Structure 1
Amino acid sequence: MKLIKINNCFLVLIALLFLHCTKPEDTFNYTPEETQLVTEVVLKTDKTKYAPGETVTFSSDKMLSGFTVRYKHLNNVIKEEPMSGKTWTWTAPATDFKGYMIEIYKANDNVETIAGTIAVDVSSDWAKFPRYGFLSEFGNVSDAQINANLDFLKDFHINAIQYYDWLNKHHAPLKMNGNVPATSWVDIANRSISFNTVKNYIDKGHDKNIASMFYNLLYGTWNDYATDGVSPEWLIYNNNSHTNVNKHPLPGWLSDIYVTNPGNTNWQNYIFDKTTLVYNNLNFDGWHLDQLGDRGTVYDYNGNTVQINQTFTPFLKNLKTKFPSKKMVLNAVNQYGQSNILSAGVDIAYTEVWDPNNTYKSLADIIKDNNSLSNNQVNTVLAAYMNYDKANSAGFFNTPGVLFTDAVIFAFGGSHLELGEHMLAKEYFPNNNLQMSGELKKRLQKYYDFMVAYENILREGGTFNSPVLNSGDGQLNLKNWPPVASTVSVIGKSLANKQILHLINFSNTSNLNWRDTNGEQTAPAVKKNFTLSLANSNTVSKVWYASPDLDGGASKELTFTQVGSNLIFKVPSMQYWGMIVVEY
């Protein structure tokens, strides 16, 4: 046994020397000096997602002579054609729920230059791979601004939008003048809302295959509830003698929010009728329901204790019966009531994340918890507000903080509610004190391209595991998830005939708190041409690598060698996040 161990170590050493001595251009199809996409062309699609067989229209800001358009699913090339103009079309494949990466490239002496990339999602239903955005301003917005806002979201492949505080009153969301909608109203913060603005957003969004979800609480009224036909018997109380209504105070606004009992069928019938008015007049695709978290010990009008989370399931099931063709989503505030929510047939798992869930590990735990509670039937969206305290005044989002948070969320199969008319930093969505820098916008688009192109690896099942991965040349200090300061975190997942290895580079970060409250997270140093050794006993057919920080997420096949029980390969470059796929 001792002799075999020595021989294996010797063979591993020879393999490492081979990988170190091999020229990069002989081993990898990439331009070695690049650690990010060389922006030669900016590519766009006309829609955010496509039905199987639908025509995809691409546009480029410039024409590149001698370059090729390559269409790939994961690392498999399905078509190539010369780049022959600044616009062209492609018929989406007939298979539903697949992600694709389109690459503009040129090869010289076995070295590829990637000049542009863009992803395409072919999915008939946005809820399979939700990429959720928001809107929060509904005054007299011009058609040009509506188009610009939707184009911005389309360029990030946002496929559904939450219409935050578009409503009139929570217990009467659409203001009516007799039998027709009012032309305008004010929301609870006394902001002007235009019916036509809401309608135009919905209609123009549908033209880009973007769904629209109207926001409303499942259990809220204003203080004038009685004049609108809401009975005090439907409310929730802080005592058992119905003299102290449970409410959410909003100082200086038009009303506090008075909490109703979601389990009360009279309340359900009332709010469902008001929702019918919404659907009859606005072509919303569904209801994004909100709640206010754990209300403590509360009572119904008759003095009975109410476990509010236990009312979520019957409310949602009755809602689905009432509106079977409409989507429904209920925010699990810090996971409150999530098991009740996910047992009721909601279309996505949505969690608004608050303390004490303030670490990168917490984000991953919530996503995995949602997977378990839903039997892997729905995917997760996290409302996780970045640079929270920094957003108390004007400035810019901190790029490293945002990219690290999205790398963790995306690697574990979730998506991040963060993009609307502006980027999101507060639970009050109209707050727009912080702006995206040009660098953040450019880099974040590549992260969303990455999430779309590799959605069938990132968001379609699999089992997380703990691979034995070592740094063959000592460049990386590797530790399996959860993160440890000054290390590169390894996230393993087995999926069909693949072993997935995500590397997230926390090697010189300032902290491991995802919110990056004051915008102080630091950027990681780029790691180049590093050798890895994976404990492996299977016959490997292919090893490939992709990173949103390298060549726009274009996949690159890697040379590998199997020595004893070790699979050895070299990775070209990693900054924040890289993904290795070992195929058997």
Structure 2
Amino acid sequence: MKRSLALCLLLLTFLWGNAVYAVETTILVLPDKAFYRPGETVTLHVSASTGARVEATIRYLDETITTLSAPVAEGAARLEWQPEPLAPRGYGVDIRLLDADGLELATTSTAFDVLERWIQAPRYGFLSEFKPGRDNADETMSWAAQYHVNGLQFYDWQYRHETLLPPSEPYVDVLGRELSLETVKRLIDAAHERNIAAMPYTAIYGASMAFYREHPDWALFSSGERPFEFGENFLIIMDPTPGSPWATHLLGEFARVLDETAFDGIHIDQYGAPMRGRNSAGEMVSLEQVFPAFINEAAALVEAKRGDDSVVLFNAVRNWPVAAVAPSDVDAVYIEVWDPYRHFMDLPRLVSRAQELGGGKPVIIAAYIHPDRPHNVRLANALIFASGGYHLELGEPGAMLADPYFPQFGMMAPDVQATTRAYYDFLVRYENVLALGTTGAPDRAAALAIEGVMTNTRRSRDRVAVIARRGEGRETFSLINLMGIGGELWDEPLPNGPTPLRDLPVQLRVDAPVERLWYASPDDRDPQA
């Protein structure tokens, strides 16, 4: 018997123009946590420059779930609601600020989600400042939570690459920075208060010159007795083959970190080269084979220490060796993007391929874009989010990653902060049709056509990119405007954003009855569907 399927078709568009709005009344709403576990109460803190009352409408996709109300006292209001224990699920919150007569003074919106584990939707961020006396841990996590950042990589927190925990307090790292383990622990505790996971940076094979001199036969060699180096007189590459002395030592360091701190897992880095070498016995070592084997041993260790909440991440630098590590026991596929993946359209292709290789695991993209390139930031996020991926870029208050050495971050201008927050709100609000429970549907992307506009091409400019995803009873078509941008490369500054497009005739071929169609955009003042 032939059955028809009712579909809900979504057009999630990123076709922005430039708009300026006069603002006389200010209102800000912040969730108290980066995400909520099933059974937890959602608390929304509202601050307003005036007004007597706030009303909040909570929505799941295009469905109104409930309406909340609270008085404004001394410029603040508090809203509480306990969602049904359904996870994973993202919600939108639309706020109206009213005066004593019920007249609308201002509107704003935010989002929140309910997840069983943060890694289901890993909005991964970073911290890189651990100096003694840092006293803004709570403010840092409040800032991260307003962008829904639910996991933080503690970058270069360690004493040495081979000795992660310091021998004294405070301590000086290999680059001469004075750091404090007490600061690290305060940040971890503050993160946990807001349901933000804390992940310690480690490197799978980096060791100091001094450590190498003590253990010269633990290294990975390029030829003869010459070991691989990273940087000039900086680090020596060790042999991470499971069962090797270095691998055993490093796993012991992981265990010690998890025993003596409240870190939630292990983040493992590599440097993209070498790809192979020889051990001290002259035997060939293929890192493409070694990496997943080491990851699996690390994952077993972390699970033994942290149980079901354990997380292990591994950096596939330059997308290598993603085919080997994506199916391993990593909890998400993490890709640091470098040449040759420099075109804007390389970003969704990387996400889609990693999702396939990882069997549907989340994908985190580390693509470093300075916030003084706002058009690049906006387009990269649109392409990554529309593909169901996540972008490592936020964490330190007001900052955005701009360099592979995380302490060299850039500071966001107020307009970049506002736009970025709108995109993260949108990502969370519509995560059930952008990412969670969906798969890529490249065959369906060709079913959408825009009159007079090129869509079916691999180019990264002068087109509207169509990214299609399929979920249960739904199809999502994201339209990203690349018309008129001054270049195709995400890592080169764009002189201007896309040319605004309006009143576009859109044709969509369907092969089943359509129940309803709705539209939403992070570039609209009102993001509701």
TM-score range, shorter chain: 0.7 to 0.9
Which stretches in structure 2 are left out of the alignment for 5+ residues? 1-16, 99-103
Please give the residue correspondences for 1:35-434 in structure 2 after superposition, counting only pairs within 5 Å: 40-62=26-48, 64=51, 68-85=55-72, 86-105=77-96, 115-143=107-135, 145-176=136-167, 182-225=168-211, 231-239=215-223, 241=224, 243-250=225-232, 256-265=234-243, 266-324=245-303, 325=306, 326-376=310-360, 378-387=361-370, 397-421=372-396, 422-432=399-409, 434=410
Q: Is the 8 A contact 1:481 1:490 kept in 2?
A: no
Closer, same or farther in 2 for the Cα pair 1:264/1:375, shift >3 Å?
A: closer
What amino acid does structure 2 have at the position aligned with 1:204? A
Q: Is the 8 A contact 1:247 1:256 kept in 2?
A: yes
Superposition TM-score, scaled by structure 2 size = 0.87
Partner of 1:575: none
Q: Is the 8 A contact 1:384 1:417 kept in 2?
A: yes
- Show CA shifts across 1:63-89 (max 9, x none): 655763111111111112345442111
- Show CA shifts across 1:433-476 (max 9, x none): x32111000010010011111111111222323243334xx5x6
**CA RMSD for the aligned pairs?**
2.3
Q: Is the 8 A contact 2:59 2:92 kept in 1?
A: yes
Partner of 2:481: 505
3-state SS in 2 of match to 1:269: helix
| Higher RCO (C-alpha 8 Å, min separation 6) | 2
Closer, same or farther in 2 for the Cα pair 1:204/1:552, shift >3 Å?
A: farther
Q: Is the 8 A contact 1:162 1:214 kept in 2?
A: yes
* Separation of aligned partners in 2, 1:79 and 1:37: 29
Is 2:432 aligned against 1:446?
Answer: no
* Separation of aligned partners in 2, 1:200 and 1:552: 38
* Separation of aligned partners in 1, 2:476 and 2:190: 38
* Separation of aligned partners in 1, 2:341 and 2:367: 10
What amino acid does structure 1 have at the position aligned with 2:389? G
Q: Is the 8 A contact 2:266 2:302 kept in 1?
A: no
* Separation of aligned partners in 1, 2:498 and 2:388: 22
Partner of 1:493: 469
- Show CA shifts across 1:262-297 (max 9, x none): 114122221122222212221000111000113155
Q: Is the 8 A contact 2:445 2:477 kept in 1?
A: no
* Separation of aligned partners in 1, 2:27 and 2:260: 42
Moved over 4 A (4+): 33-40, 63-67
CA displacement at 1:501 relative to structure 2: 1.2
* Separation of aligned partners in 2, 1:537 and 1:321: 45
Q: Is the 8 A contact 1:310 1:337 kept in 2?
A: no
Of 519, 522, 525, which aligns to 1:548? 522
What amino acid does structure 2 have at the position aligned with 1:338? V
Farther-moved stretch of structure 1 (291-300 vs 399-408): 291-300
What amino acid does structure 2 have at the position aligned with 1:545? Y
* Separation of aligned partners in 1, 2:170 and 2:69: 51
3-state SS in 2 of match to 1:42: strand
Closer, same or farther in 2 for the Cα pair 1:315/1:484, shift >3 Å?
A: closer
* Separation of aligned partners in 2, 1:500 and 1:59: 32
- Show CA shifts across 1:24-64 (max 9, x none): xxxxxxxxx99688875211011100011211111112265
- Show CA shifts across 1:290-314 (max 9, x none): 0011315521101111111210122
What amino acid does structure 1 have at the position aligned with 2:432? N
* Separation of aligned partners in 2, 1:295 and 1:452: 38
CA displacement at 1:174 relative to structure 2: 0.5
Closer, same or farther in 2 for the Cα pair 1:75/1:186, shift >3 Å?
A: same
3-state SS in 1 of match to 2:227: coil
Which stretches in structure 1 are left out of the alignment for 5+ residues? 1-32, 177-181, 388-395, 556-584
Closer, same or farther in 2 for the Cα pair 1:106/1:38, shift >3 Å?
A: farther
CA displacement at 1:369 relative to structure 2: 1.3
* Separation of aligned partners in 1, 2:211 and 2:235: 10
Is 2:468 aligned against 1:482?
Answer: no
* Separation of aligned partners in 2, 1:191 and 1:373: 39
Closer, same or farther in 2 for the Cα pair 1:269/1:103, shift >3 Å?
A: same
What amino acid does structure 2 have at the position aligned with 1:431? Q
* Separation of aligned partners in 1, 2:507 and 2:106: 28
Superposition TM-score, scaled by structure 1 size = 0.79
Closer, same or farther in 2 for the Cα pair 1:58/1:225, shift >3 Å?
A: same
Closer, same or farther in 2 for the Cα pair 1:484/1:113, shift >3 Å?
A: farther
Task: Report which of the two structures shows the higher radius of gyration computed on alpha carbons.
Answer: 1
CA displacement at 1:256 relative to structure 2: 1.4
What amino acid does structure 2 have at the position aligned with 1:314? A
Closer, same or farther in 2 for the Cα pair 1:281/1:314, shift >3 Å?
A: same
Q: Is the 8 A contact 2:69 2:79 kept in 1?
A: no
Q: Is the 8 A contact 2:268 2:312 kept in 1?
A: yes
What amino acid does structure 2 have at the position aligned with 1:214? P
Number of equivalenced pairs = 490
* Separation of aligned partners in 1, 2:59 and 2:412: 30
* Separation of aligned partners in 1, 2:52 and 2:457: 45
* Separation of aligned partners in 1, 2:230 and 2:434: 38
3-state SS in 2 of match to 1:271: helix
Partner of 1:8: none
- Show CA shifts across 1:226-268 (max 9, x none): 57xx6322210011x3x10111024xxxx51111111141222
- Percent identity over the alignment is 28
* Separation of aligned partners in 1, 2:91 and 2:515: 21
